[in-house]
């Protein structure tokens, strides 16, 4: 077999590998040039039209908490986030919430939160990078409460 | 109309005239008779003028005697003509006296008829008012009399019955009681009144779920006083609220009893709503600080809880309008509302609290639970799959991780018992029993829970619920120890530094932070190399407290980076480590950091910026910056290795102990140096820190070997300034810790340090997963050491003398997995000036392995980067460097060098390599020395095995030769052969075959001649080959002088259980480098 033939076969194999990886999304294990996450930020903003208020605060550990306040009528909410740097290798994040276990909410892999009951029980949700950097972002979703307390009998 | 009036007047006139005429005529007629009636008398002797009610008045026996004007009389009976007896007034159904009119010839006589009841009731003994609940025996209190017509008297009778059918002493009202005696009936009325009156106005009629009411504190109860006929306030009553359930919405009846009387009222428990957002606690109305309530019109004032101090205006809002007063308390607390009720002063206790829009376990506890749930799966990097207890300390306050938010969107809510219920249960066997008295186990102050010493070792479950709202309960299970609880980076820094603290329990994922003091004035991270002599510890400060008042610049200039207070707390931290713990005067320090599976996140910590430090002229800090490319380089490697956790706790005699050991070795030699034994040293230096169940992520990144020069320079400058995870100058025990993205994962710098690593994951490190600088004794088990920029485990022996406390060593086994494929071109190698060495060294090493494995194995694996470039990588597992490089041309046997050793232990086999091992061991090639890590890696063990097998083989061979025609074997030869035959193992067969060659002095082609000449030998040889042995006859066994050793060693290469090969190589600049790397099958050509 000539060198040209060998090179040709190698090229074909490489192209096949690229195609296969492209189709099946398999990361080549060959080279450890993963770019780890440096930050994970929730990017949701207020939506006056839907009467959704989004504010930001900091917890006792200096971590940002994104507070979302929903009208009771809204039972579905999409979490939006960004991981930096832009070319980070592992973009998948995990969602954890005590309210998932309590069957109060469900969260899809794309961050769509569904409130499964009619109660106004809110939810606290932790987003975390899955590349081992353990970058954390927190969102708290609550529903607006009535400010009327009723009549006091004396 | 006029005509009609005339007609009517005429008729009236005519009627009057006719009446007058009739009267005149009657008078004339009587007059004509000659007498008139002067009177009428009635004889009632035969008439019953007192009759029983319901009977008929019979006047048939009446006699009427008419007396005329002439005194004549005439007697008539009741039927006489012209006699009328008018009884129309009599109502025999109604007792009373009635007039009967007897009339004769216009003369009337009236007599009375009395209608009496046949039965008479005397009720004077019966209470006028009966209170609700009061039982009355009417029959015993009642006197019944029956009318005796004969005597017209009432005679008392005992024969009667009382009908109380309609009577209900449970309900206020007027009831008629019937009495029957014979044919007579009578009744009397009794009034049942409320026996007690409940003023429940203090309790709202509707309260929300969770309300608790101290009924006797809020009810005003008055009991009817029969003597005074008024209600007197009393405290002598009981409240039955047994059916009241404050957790379930509904309307409940509360019954109040005092003696036999009682009253009830109802309370409705409901979910919070805009119609009712009031709760109740004890005697206090609980309202929510975000809500506005409606008070009736009136005048109000609000005071603090004491009832006298006016509440600050900022605390509340009282806004009157036309029909109500709007009321809101905006500052949480207890108050008293004063007002006027029924023209009397009145007051009501109020408490304002937060209305929760969220209550659940917090994100950190949820994350902890997720971590525990993932143990043993690929999702977890915690190696120990057995869940460890969550630990809570008694040393300070503990806060349950709750995610709370109020209606004002505030998160820093005081989650005390006004808002939440905490129910405690103690583990008892497999059950949890509710703790009856919380005071026995914990002191509660708001949301601070301080567990008592008596709870150490006990396990509790706590269920937290929102007091007045329905949320999914939060459940916590934990075991108590005597440590302190840490929730923030500053707390971790404080307690980690404090040498009085021995146990720390983490309760949050902590974002590592440093203070402004830890930066240079130009904003770059301080780059001081922290060592024990740069610490003013608690003992030092007692001798010279002036350090406490010195400025940062003064301390830094004096190279004192940590200044302690005399009480053991850290006063100043000018180093770059967030969590430092140092002392030069401490023994028995056994700090334990229980991570509780939480993460300490150093990702946002700054990097040491070498360029900024140098440009700012911080020359002293530049000492620890190095230019791999010389003075003209634009990149600098940071050598100081800041660490997130950095501890150095040693006794005040540490230096002396070391020196004594040195002297002892120098005087008595290693073998007899009792002061240099590990046991002796450990007894004196007994400080050891433990980290367990902890995750640490730092701000580094693992480099790659395909970077451009510019990238490498940039990475070296930048990432070499990242933080290590744990650095220690003390003994340390790492148990179930996961470390990612550190400069160095685990790092010790202490002579004689015990460095125990178990169940630990270290990966993605800039330099090394584990680095033992100086004489550290690393023992690692059940761990994973992943990608790093250099050797996964790096041991650096910087001591020229031998001894357990002076030689860095590693003890590992097959439970340790290393996955660290490097090319040698990574920036870390460049930073260490190794990039010019390693690429060549790896090829040389690979060549040694290929040669010694009979060209079947190699250490290099070809991998391709994303640009398609192919690199040769090797799994750089362990490297031991002897810093005392032997200069070229120097005899290594000279005293200056001949004691330099490198030691490691694999699977319990201790291997000691001297600096001359490369030359002395028979498993070498011209370029290096290699030994598979297995039972024969120890040269002595291998030699002993070879000797033993060769002895067997030699005997067997003799017997074999005899049996093959060389004559009758001797008895010894026969026995030896039998032994070989019985053993039957492949090693023995191999040795046997090789032994034949040895015995015959055959090598190379001579072996084939021998095998051809002796058929039985050929059989044995073939068996050896078929069992995976390599024909090594082509190798020259000059070092040992026997081919048998090769046979055994090559079988080690072929044994699938073997994974690592030890390679010694001389690397210029580093000296003899002992490297342990993975070998694999060499692909077929």
Do residues A14 and A81 both lie within one domain?
A: no
Residue B992 confidence (pLDDT) above 80: no
Q: Which residue has the higher pLDDT, B1034 or B294?
A: B294
Sequence length of chain A is 154
Q: Which domain does A26 fall in, by range?
A: 1-31
Residues 70-129 of A with CB under 8 A from B: 96-99, 102, 104, 119-126, 128
Instruction: Using alpha carbons, select from B917, B702, B958, B739 the residue that is nearest to residue B820.
Output: B702
Decide if A154 and B863 are in contact by the 8 Å CB cutoff.
no
A27 & A2 share domain? yes
Min Cα–Cα distance to chain B from A74, Å: 15
Where residue B160 falls among pLDDT bands split at 50, 70, 90? Answer: very high
Beta-sheet pairing, B431-434 with B776-781 = unpaired
Q: Do A121 and B358 touch (CB under 8 A)?
A: yes
- Does the CB of B785 have a partner CB in chain A at under 8 Å? no
Residue A154: per-residue pLDDT: 83
Residues of A in contact with B470 (CB under 8 A): 119, 121
Which pLDDT value is given to residue B1003? 41
Q: Is the pLDDT of residue B604 over 70?
A: yes
Q: CB of B1039 within 8 A of CB of B924?
A: yes
Q: Does A76 share its domain with A50? A: yes
- Report the pLDDT averaged over residues B39-68: 90
Distance of CA B454 to the CA centre of its chain: 20
Distance CA(B224)–CA(B602), nearest Å, equals: 75
Please tell me whether residues A70 and A121 are part of one structural domain: yes
Rounded to whole angstroms, how far apart are CA atoms B863 and B1020?
Answer: 41
Binned at pLDDT 50, 70 and 90, residue B940 comes out as confident
What pLDDT, on a 0 to 100 scale, did the predictor assign at position B9?
A: 54
Residue A154 lies in a domain: no
Tell whether A27 and A68 lie within a shared domain.
no
Q: Say how many residues make up chain B.
A: 1085
Cis peptide before A85 (omega within 30 of 0): yes
Q: Is B468 on the interface with A (CB under 8 A)?
A: no
Predicted confidence at residue B868, as pLDDT, reads 83
Residues A17 and A47 in one domain: no
- Say if the Cβ atoms of B405 and A67 lie within 8 Å: yes
pLDDT tens track for B532-586: 899 999 999 999 999 999 999 999 999 999 999 999 999 999 999 999 999 999 9
Q: Which one of A28, A122, A147 has the shortest CB-CB distance to B290? A: A147
CB-CB neighbors (< 8 A) of A98 in chain B: 360-361, 365-366, 403, 472, 474
DSSP annotation of B883 reads S
Contact B367 A96 (CB under 8 A): yes
Tell me whether residue A99 is in a domain: yes
**Which residues of chain A have a pLDDT value below 70?**
1-31
pLDDT at B953: 52
Domain count for chain A, please give it. Answer: 2
Instruction: Give me the residue label for tokens 């093959």.
Output: B964
**Above pLDDT 70, what percent of chain B?**
82
- Residues A49, A113 share a domain: yes
Contact B367/A at CB under 8 A: yes
Residues A54 and A119 occupy one common structural domain: yes
Residue B850 pLDDT: 84
B405 touches chain A (CB under 8 A): yes
Under an 8 A CB cutoff, do B510 and A61 touch? yes
Confidence of residue B623 (pLDDT cuts 50, 70, 90): low
A42 touches A139 (CB < 8 A): yes
pLDDT digit string, tens, across residues B492-546 = 999 999 999 999 999 999 999 999 999 999 999 998 888 889 999 999 999 999 9
SS (H, E, C) B776-827: EEEEEECCEECCECCCCEEEEECCCCCCCCCCCEEEECCCCEECCEECCCCH
Task: Read off the tokens for B681.
Answer: 């040293």
Using a CB–CB cutoff of 8 Å, tell me whether B763 touches chain A. yes
Q: Establish, for the pair of chains A and B, how many residue pairs have beta carbons separated by less than 8 Å.
A: 187
- State whether B348 and A154 contact (CB < 8 Å): yes
Mean pLDDT of B932-948: 75
pLDDT value of residue A111: 96
- What is the pLDDT, as a whole number, of residue A44? 97
| B287–A97 C-beta distance less than 8 A | no
With contacts defined as CB-CB under 8 Å, which chain B residues touch A146? 273-274, 277, 291
Quick one: pLDDT at residue B1037? 30
Q: How far apart are CA B698 and CA B718, in angstroms?
A: 14
CB within 8 A of A37, min separation 6: which ones? A83, A84, A88, A90, A129, A131, A133, A135
* pLDDT over threshold 80, residue B14: no
pLDDT in tens, B26-40: 444 445 456 888 889
User: Are B428 and B437 contacting, i.e. CB atoms less than 8 angstroms apart?
Assistant: no
Query: Quick check: A69 and B866 CB within 8 A?
Result: no
| Residue B366 contacts A, CB cutoff 8 Å | yes
Environment class of A31 (CB within 10 Å of its CB; exposed 0-12, middle 13-18, buried 19+): buried
Name which residue leads in pLDDT, B522 or B775. Answer: B522
pLDDT beyond 60 at B270: yes
User: Taking 70 as the threshold, does the pLDDT of residue B154 lie above it?
Assistant: yes
- The yes-or-no verdict on residue B620 having pLDDT over 80 is no
Give the mutation candidate from A32, A83, A115, A117 for the B interface (greatest B CB count, under 10 A).
A32
Is A73 inside a domain boundary?
yes
Contact B367 A126 (CB under 8 A): yes
- Both tokens of B220, joined, read 């005003």
Chain B residues whose CB is inside 8 A of the A38 CB are 603
Give the DSSP letter string of B289-334.
Answer: TT-EEEE-SS--EEEETTSSSBPPGGGEEEEE-SS-EEEEE-S-EE
What is the reported pLDDT for B756?
Answer: 95
Mean of per-residue pLDDT scores for chain B = 84
B344 touching A, CB under 8 A?
no
As given in the structure block, the two tokens for residue A87 are 């070319």
User: Which residues lie across from A77 on neighbouring strands?
Assistant: A113
The answer on pLDDT for B419 being more than 70 is yes
Does B349 reach chain A within 8 Å, measured CB to CB? Answer: no
User: Cβ(B640)–Cβ(B527) under 8 Å?
Assistant: yes
Residues 6+ apart with CB under 8 A from B944: none
Is residue B741 within 8 Å of B764, Cβ to Cβ? yes
CB atoms inside a 10 Å sphere around CB B1064: 24
Span B982-1007, average pLDDT:
46
Judge if A19 and A44 occupy the same domain. Answer: no
Burial label, B621 (beta-carbon count in 10 A; 0-12, 13-18, 19+): buried
Question: Confidence class of residue B16 from pLDDT cuts 50, 70 and 90?
Answer: low
Q: Does A150 fall in a domain?
A: no
Q: What is the pLDDT of residue A31?
A: 60
Instruction: Indicate which CATH number applies to the domain containing A52.
Output: 2.60.40
**pLDDT digit string, tens, across residues B82-141:** 899 999 999 998 889 999 999 988 888 999 999 988 899 999 999 889 999 999 999 999
Q: Please check the confidence at residue B182 and state whether its pLDDT lies above 80.
A: yes
Residue B255, pLDDT score: 94
Q: What is the pLDDT of residue B941?
A: 76
Task: Assess contact for B640 and B727: CB atoms under 8 A.
Answer: no
Q: Are residues A44 and A26 in the same domain?
A: no
| Confidence check: pLDDT of B997 > 80 | no
Cβ distance A154 to B339 less than 8 Å, yes or no, reads: yes
B-proximal residues of A, 125-154, CB under 8 Å: 125-126, 128, 132-136, 138, 140, 142-154
Q: What is the C-alpha to C-alpha distance for residues A95 and B598, in angstroms, rounded to an integer?
A: 16
Q: Which helix (H) or strand (E) holds A6?
A: helix A3-24
Band of pLDDT at residue B845, cut at 50, 70 and 90: confident
Residues B625-676 pLDDT 10s: 766 555 444 567 787 789 999 999 999 899 899 999 989 988 988 888 888 8
pLDDT at residue B152, as a whole number: 83
Indicate whether A85 belongs to any domain: yes
Q: Which residues of A touch B348 (CB under 8 A)?
A: 154
CA–CA dist B897, B800 (Å, integer): 7
Instruction: Mark yes or no for CB contact A126/B363 under 8 Å.
Output: yes
Q: Do residue A36 and residue B701 have CB atoms under 8 angstroms apart? A: yes
Q: Is residue A152 assigned to a domain?
A: no
For residue A87, tell me if it sits in a domain. yes
What's residue B950's pLDDT?
54
d(CA B142, CA B145): 10
Confidence check: pLDDT of B683 > 70: yes
Using a CB-CB distance cutoff of 8 angstroms, which residues of chain B are in contact with residue A115?
none
Residues A44, A27: one domain? Answer: no
Cβ–Cβ below 8 Å for B277 and A55: no
- Residue A14 touches chain B, beta carbons under 8 Å: yes
Tell me what pLDDT residue B314 has: 96
Q: What pLDDT band is residue B175 in, cutting at 50, 70 and 90?
A: very high
Q: Are residues A120 and A50 in the same domain?
A: yes
Q: Between chains, do B381 and A132 touch, taking CB under 8 Å as contact? A: yes
């Amino acid at each position: 077999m000539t060198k040209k033939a060998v090179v040709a076969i190698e090229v074909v194999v490489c192209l096949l590998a690229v195609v296969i990886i492209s189709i099946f999304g398999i990361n080549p294990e060959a080279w450890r040039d993963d770019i780890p996450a440096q930050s994970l930020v929730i990017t949701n903003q207020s939506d006056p039209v839907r009467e959704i208020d989004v504010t930001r605060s900091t917890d006792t550990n200096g971590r940002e908490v994104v507070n979302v306040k929903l009208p009771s009528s809204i039972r579905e909410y999409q979490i939006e986030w960004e991981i930096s740097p832009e070319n980070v290798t592992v973009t998948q994040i995990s969602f954890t919430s005590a309210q998932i276990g309590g069957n109060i909410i469900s969260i899809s892999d794309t961050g769509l939160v569904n409130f499964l009951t009619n109660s106004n029980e809110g939810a606290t949700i932790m987003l975390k990078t899955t590349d081992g950097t353990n970058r954390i972002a927190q969102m708290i979703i609550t529903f607006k409460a009535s400010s009327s307390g009723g009549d006091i009998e004396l | 109309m006029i005509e009609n009036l005339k007609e009517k007047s005429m008729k009236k006139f005519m009627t009057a005239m006719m009446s007058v005429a009739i009267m005149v005529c009657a008078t004339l007629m009587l007059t004509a008779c000659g007498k008139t009636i002067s009177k009428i008398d009635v004889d009632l002797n035969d008439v019953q003028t007192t009759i029983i009610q319901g009977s008929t008045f019979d006047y048939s026996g009446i006699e009427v005697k008419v007396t005329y004007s002439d005194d004549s009389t005439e007697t008539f009976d009741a039927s006489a003509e012209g006699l009328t007896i008018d009884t129309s007034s009599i109502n025999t159904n109604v007792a009373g006296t009635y007039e009967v009119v007897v009339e004769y010839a216009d003369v009337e006589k009236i007599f009375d008829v009395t209608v009496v009841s046949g039965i008479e009731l005397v009720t004077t003994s019966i209470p006028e008012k009966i209170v609700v609940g009061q039982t009355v025996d009417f029959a015993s209190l009642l006197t019944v009399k029956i009318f005796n017509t004969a005597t017209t008297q009432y005679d008392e009778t005992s024969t009667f019955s009382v009908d109380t059918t309609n009577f209900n002493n449970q309900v206020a009202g007027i009831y008629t009681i019937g009495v029957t005696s014979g044919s007579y009936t009578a009744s009397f009325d009794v009034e049942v009144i409320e026996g007690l009156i409940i003023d429940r106005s203090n309790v709202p009629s509707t309260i929300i779920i969770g309300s608790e009411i101290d009924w006797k504190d809020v009810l005003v109860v008055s009991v009817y006083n029969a003597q005074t006929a008024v209600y007197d306030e009393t405290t002598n009553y009981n409240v039955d609220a047994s059916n009241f359930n404050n957790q379930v919405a509904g309307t409940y009846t509360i019954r109040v009893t005092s003696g036999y009387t009682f009253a009830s009222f109802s309370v409705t428990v409901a979910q919070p709503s805009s119609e009712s957002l009031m709760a109740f606690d004890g005697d206090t109305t609980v309202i929510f600080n975000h809500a506005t309530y409606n008070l009736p019109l009136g005048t109000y004032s609000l005071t603090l809880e004491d009832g006298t101090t006016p509440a600050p205006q900022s605390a509340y809002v009282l806004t009157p309008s036309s029909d109500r007063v709007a009321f809101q308390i905006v500052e949480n607390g207890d108050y008293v509302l004063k007002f006027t009720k029924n023209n009397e002063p009145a007051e009501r206790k109020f408490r304002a609290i937060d209305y929760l829009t969220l209550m659940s376990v917090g994100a950190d506890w949820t994350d902890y639970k997720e971590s525990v749930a993932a143990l043993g799966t690929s999702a977890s990097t915690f190696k120990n799959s057995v869940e460890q207890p969550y630990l809570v300390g008694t040393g300070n306050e503990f806060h349950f991780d709750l995610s709370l938010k109020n209606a004002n969107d505030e998160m820093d809510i005081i989650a005390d018992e006004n808002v939440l219920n905490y129910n405690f249960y103690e583990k008892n066997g497999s059950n949890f029993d509710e703790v009856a008295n919380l005071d026995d186990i914990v002191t509660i102050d708001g949301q601070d829970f301080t567990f008592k010493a008596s709870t150490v070792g006990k396990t509790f479950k706590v269920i937290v619920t929102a007091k007045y709202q329905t949320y999914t309960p939060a459940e916590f299970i934990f075991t108590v120890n005597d440590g302190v609880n840490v929730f923030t980076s500053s707390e971790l820094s404080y307690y980690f530094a404090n040498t009085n603290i021995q146990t720390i329990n983490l309760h949050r994922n902590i974002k590592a932070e440093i203070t402004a003091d830890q930066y240079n004035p130009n904003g770059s991270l301080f780059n001081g190399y922290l060592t024990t002599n740069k610490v003013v510890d608690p003992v030092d400060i007692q001798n010279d407290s002036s350090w406490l008042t010195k400025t940062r610049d003064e301390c830094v200039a004096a190279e004192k980076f940590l200044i302690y207070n005399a009480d053991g707390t850290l006063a100043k931290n000018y180093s770059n480590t967030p969590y430092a713990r140092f002392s030069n005067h401490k023994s028995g320090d056994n700090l334990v950091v229980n991570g509780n599976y939480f993460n300490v996140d150093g990702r946002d910590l700054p990097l040491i910026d070498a360029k900024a430090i140098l440009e700012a002229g911080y020359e002293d800090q530049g000492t620890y910056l190095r230019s791999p490319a010389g003075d003209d380089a634009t990149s600098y490697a940071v050598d100081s290795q800041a660490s997130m956790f950095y501890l150095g706790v040693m006794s005040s005699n540490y230096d002396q102990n070391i020196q004594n050991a040195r002297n002892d070795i120098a005087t008595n030699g290693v073998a007899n140096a009792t002061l240099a034994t590990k046991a002796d040293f450990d007894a004196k230096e007994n400080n050891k820190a433990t980290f367990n169940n902890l995750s640490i992520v730092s701000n580094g990144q693992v480099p790659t070997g395909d970077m451009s020069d510019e990238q490498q320079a940039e990475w070296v400058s930048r990432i070499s300034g990242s933080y290590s995870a744990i650095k220690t100058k003390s003994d340390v025990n790492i148990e179930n810790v996961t470390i990612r993205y550190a400069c160095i994962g685990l790092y010790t710098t202490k002579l004689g340090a015990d460095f125990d690593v178990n169940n630990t994951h270290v990966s993605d490190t800039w330099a090394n997963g584990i680095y033992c600088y100086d004489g550290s004794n690393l023992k690692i088990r059940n761990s994973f050491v992943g990608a790093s920029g250099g050797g996964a485990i790096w041991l650096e022996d910087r001591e020229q003398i031998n001894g357990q406390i002076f030689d860095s060593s590693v003890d590992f086994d097959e439970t340790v997995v290393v996955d660290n494929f490097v090319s040698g071109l990574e920036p870390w190698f460049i930073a260490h000036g190794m990039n010019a060495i390693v690429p060549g060294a790896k090829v040389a090493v690979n060549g040694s392995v290929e040669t010694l494995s009979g060209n079947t194995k190699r250490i290099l694996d070809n991998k391709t980067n994303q640009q398609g470039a192919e690199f040769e990588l090797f799994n750089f597992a362990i490297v031991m460097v002897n810093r005392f490089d032997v200069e070229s041309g120097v005899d290594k046997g000279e005293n200056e060098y001949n004691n330099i050793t490198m030691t490691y232990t694999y699977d319990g086999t201790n291997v000691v390599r001297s600096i001359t091992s490369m030359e002395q061991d028979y498993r070498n090639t011209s370029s290096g020395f290699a030994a598979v890590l297995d039972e024969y890696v120890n040269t002595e063990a291998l030699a002993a095995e070879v000797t033993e097998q060769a002895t067997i083989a030699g005997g067997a061979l003799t017997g074999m030769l005899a049996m093959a025609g060389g004559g009758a074997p001797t008895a010894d030869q026969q026995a030896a052969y039998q032994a070989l035959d019985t053993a039957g193992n492949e090693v023995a067969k191999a040795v046997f075959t090789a032994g034949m060659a040895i015995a015959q002095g055959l090598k190379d082609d001579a072996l084939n001649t021998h095998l051809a000449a002796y058929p039985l030998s050929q059989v044995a040889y073939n068996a050896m080959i078929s069992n995976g042995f390599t024909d090594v006859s082509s190798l020259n066994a000059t070092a040992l002088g026997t081919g048998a050793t090769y046979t055994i060693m090559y079988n080690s290469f072929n044994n699938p259980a073997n994974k690592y090969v030890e390679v010694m190589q001389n690397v210029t600049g580093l000296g003899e480098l002992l490297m342990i790397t993975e070998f694999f099958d060499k692909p077929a050509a």
